[in-house]
Amino acid sequence: MTLDLYGTLASAPCRSVLLTAKAIGVTLNIVETVPLSEAIKSPEFIKKNPQSTIPTLDDNGLYLNESRAIMQYLCNQYSHKTDKYYPKTPKFPVIFFGQKFSPEKIKRVDQALEYLEVYVSSSGFVAGNELTIADFAVVSSLSTMEGFGHDFVKFPKVREYLEKCKRDVPGYMEINQKGVDIFVSRFGAKVKEARQDS
Ligand SMILES: N[C@@H](CCC(=O)N[C@@H](CS)C(=O)NCC(=O)O)C(=O)O
């Protein structure tokens, strides 16, 4: 059985899915697909995902998009030995980040970081007292922000949290850091420019 993941390591939501798969021991075959490519706009791809976004999962003809939905699906469907990373409790919050750069948006990112500072202050994790898929979703974006030089000085607990994720998230270096490095090497200069102009 092969599970195909349409996407690329440079994409934060794809990395959230890949970190989840790694943690629960599921092998995903990455079908390299990048935004703005012909492939992602093709009728074949739109049949799989009308939103034309990555990540998109193909589980033997069952197509799923939206990273968080895919993460939950993988845990429900394939993580039979443990629900450690996706606890079956009714309350399981995940926080979301803004992603584009403008003074207004940067302010909103800092607001999100303020919330994250509070979330991780008590238990050291985003949701509950252990590492879960909520952390995979957050750390993929947080580390991208770090890669682009976002200033975390005001958020010491977030800083600590990120360092802990680097140590404890299964496959952090080979999946997440590798993807961040690819993304930053492609877009770092542009983002720096945009931030200076903002
Ligand atoms: N909310 C979606 C966001 C997916 C998303 O926007 N992916 C970007 C790449 S990081 C994409 O596919 N962009 C293609 C496009 O917008 O044309 C998720 O979490 O899966």
What pLDDT does residue 144 have?
A: 94
What is the fold, at CATH topology level, of the domain defined by 103-197? Glutathione S-transferase Yfyf (Class Pi); Chain A, domain 2 (1.20.1050)
Instruction: Give dist(CA 31, CA 8) in Å, integer.
Output: 8
Residue 94: phi and psi, rounded to 5, are -130, 135
Tokens coding 100 = 């584009």
Tokens coding 53 = 């976004």
Confidence of residue 102 (pLDDT cuts 50, 70, 90): low
Tokens coding 29 = 């075959």
Instruction: Give the CATH architecture of domain 3-78.
Output: 3-Layer(aba) Sandwich (3.40)
Query: Where exactly does CATH 1.20.1050.10 map onto the chain?
Result: 103-197
Q: Which of 33, 53, 74, 136 to mutate to test the pocket of ligand 1 (most atoms within 8 A of CB)?
A: 53
What pLDDT does residue 122 have?
A: 87
What pLDDT does residue 188 have?
A: 78
Lowest mean pLDDT among 33-47, 80-94, 158-172: 80-94
Query: Where exactly does CATH 3.40.30.10 map onto the chain?
Result: 3-78
- Ligand 1 near 16 CB (within 6 A): no
- Average confidence (pLDDT) over 55-84: 93
Instruction: Give dist(CA 131, CA 161) in Å, integer.
Output: 11
Give tens-digit pLDDT for 113-152. 999 998 899 899 998 889 999 999 999 999 999 998 888 9
